[in-house]
Chain A
């Protein structure tokens, strides 16, 4: 589904050059639930951003569904993200000025073929899926951390993307809420979504199908896990 070949990411300032990712080769297959682990600063989020086409690698190639996308324009990448990818962030990144429903609708705003009524209906359905159909008119500030992350998940899945990328989705939540979010993700995966999740939590990672370990920008482990 997504293939990364010889990926390198270098951050340059006028005085210093930092190698954030070094020679990463990775294939994420359809229907997988993969987790990426490693110590802080090892390049987990950078890798996830590159997989999610949010950032460009300094070297190497990316293909999505067998199609190389490295030479895609900003507009083509935007369309690809909109159609095929969904994102969940540690700090939720909800827009406080918009209601829960309006927040969830955001990815659909950039799909011209979807009408306002359809948009609302799809957003309602996504919120039902995460158990927040009674909060549509609330604003993010009126929600708990767990509820906010569920809204963020609803936003990520509303456009029915094939791949969901989650950057420490449970990082700001307590263990109960964290488990709740993970079980929602597992449910989505069971329904066919491919999920790549960055996490610090070994226990969470072990509940996924595959564990990719990074250290100092290099992939040091790639294990297929057997679920208990």
Chain B
């Protein structure tokens, strides 16, 4: 029966090439936008280079200190000391890294000023993140303990800073903010959309200006906890919160008396969203709801347009509808037929959209619009795209199919 439906859908497409072109153009354009959007969301929240362990990681990126009446609060990253005491000491994780968010800085290659972003990290950073080393190696605990002025740079910074790219740069000297560092390794850079790994230069936290010795609970550091397996994350969160609960309250920070200390230890998406919005684990629900709403809006308008096109196309086939009903097709079967046909057409549009999406993301990845952009059509994106095609097919197919299935047999045969 399915073959019969698909045969008809194909023939109907061939019957009016211009109509078909308009329909497929609308479908593929809409689906391309949605697929690129899906790919972009996946680029932002998926597990990609060098943060390939996101699915078994937890992030501590923000602390909130509030007074008893909840009228004032201090919010921001934590100090190195705080994270060492409460995160680094956790027993359940495989690894914990403490790293600063990226900070802007300047370097000079000859007379040319290079604006760059730097990050101070511990040695575990290179184990929690999966950077590809193009040259050299990461700094280790020994380099850090010795306070060595070493740096790991990205290939992009190497290209900007060193004029002669034919020679290895490991062992060479770079000057950043009037401090000289020895290049110890070169990595393939991370896109700026991956806050926890992105920088142009990585320094050990013991180098000057890192403020790692700051005697405060807040500061400029965050932590990434790598669990042995994803299912350990709940136990890690419990262990961390247990430690946090033991912090004596109320406290005083530079004259601000706080009665509440909140610090989250959450999976990536929840953690990043909490930077922009309050709401705990619910923020993820809000985020997905907003995305779903946006996608529905993006799909809804072209779908309404397609509904009109489909209604006139289906009504052309009233004789067929009459015949099928006369020979015993139940309304539900006819509804299914027209929905299947519409989904088939949507999937043709989806295949064109997939091709257009590949071209679009190729241009985005090579445009330099997002440094190190690596938008892809991976399995997740592909599955979401299939889902989007199905929803679009249903949205634009159900209404015309319903209208058609209610047509009386005699009327259908007369026309």
Residues of A within 8 A of B323 (CB): 93, 95, 106
Residues of A within 8 A of B331 (CB): 74-75, 78
When the two chains form the complex, which single residue of B7, B330, B333, B410 contacts A55, counting CB atoms closer than 8 Å?
Answer: B410
Inter-chain CB contacts under 8 Å: number = 68
> Can you name 5 A-B pairs with beta carbons within 8 Å?
A54-B413, A55-B409, A75-B331, A83-B328, A106-B324
Residues of B within 8 A of A55 (CB): 408-410
Residues of B within 8 A of A143 (CB): none
- A52 CB within 8 Å of chain B: yes
Q: Is the CB of B4 within 8 A of A109?
A: yes
When the two chains form the complex, which single residue of A54, A74, A111, A159 contacts B326, counting CB atoms closer than 8 Å?
Answer: A54
Residues of B within 8 A of A133 (CB): none
Nearest 8 A/B pairs, CB to CB? A82-B328, A97-B11, A107-B327, A110-B328, A54-B409, A78-B330, A81-B328, A78-B328
- B379 CB within 8 Å of chain A: no
Q: Mark A87-113, 1 if CB is under 8 A from B, else 0.
A: 101000101011000100111011100
Q: Is the CB of A97 within 8 A of B410?
A: no
Residues of A within 8 A of B12 (CB): 97
Closest B residue to A81 by beta carbon equals: B328
Asked whether A98 and B409 contact (CB < 8 A) given A83-B328, A87-B326, the answer is: no
When the two chains form the complex, which single residue of A54, A74, A82 contacts B410, counting CB atoms closer than 8 Å?
Answer: A54
A82 to B333 Cα, complex, angstroms: 13
Q: Is the CB of B326 within 8 A of A81?
A: yes
* Shortest distance between the CB of A139 and any CB in chain B (Å): 9
Chief secondary structure at chain B's binding surface = helix
Q: Mark B308-339, 1 if CB is under 8 A from A, else 0.
A: 00000000000110111111111111000000
Q: Which residues of chain A (48-90) have a CB below 8 Å from chain B?
A: 49, 52, 54-55, 74-75, 78-79, 81-83, 87, 89
Asked whether A155 and B8 contact (CB < 8 A) given A54-B410, A89-B413, the answer is: no
Q: Which residues of chain B (370-415) have a CB below 8 Å from chain A?
A: 408-410, 413
Chain A: interface size category:
20 to 34
Chain B: interface size category:
20 to 34
Most chain A beta-carbon contacts within 10 A, residue among B331, B332, B409 = B409
Interface residues in chain A, defined as those with a beta carbon under 8 Å from any beta carbon in chain B: 49, 52, 54-55, 74-75, 78-79, 81-83, 87, 89, 93, 95, 97-98, 102, 105-107, 109-111, 155, 159
A97 to B5 Cα, complex, angstroms: 11
Residues of B within 8 A of A97 (CB): 7-8, 11-12, 15
* Shortest distance between the CB of A196 and any CB in chain B (Å): 15
A103 to B356 Cα, complex, angstroms: 38
A55 to B409 Cα, complex, angstroms: 7
Closest A residue to B324 by beta carbon equals: A106
Q: Is the CB of A79 within 8 A of B410?
A: no
Residues of A within 8 A of B329 (CB): 78, 82, 109-110
* Shortest distance between the CB of A111 and any CB in chain B (Å): 8
Q: Is the CB of A107 within 8 A of B328?
A: yes
Residues of B within 8 A of A83 (CB): 328
- B179 CB within 8 Å of chain A: no
A64 to B364 Cα, complex, angstroms: 68
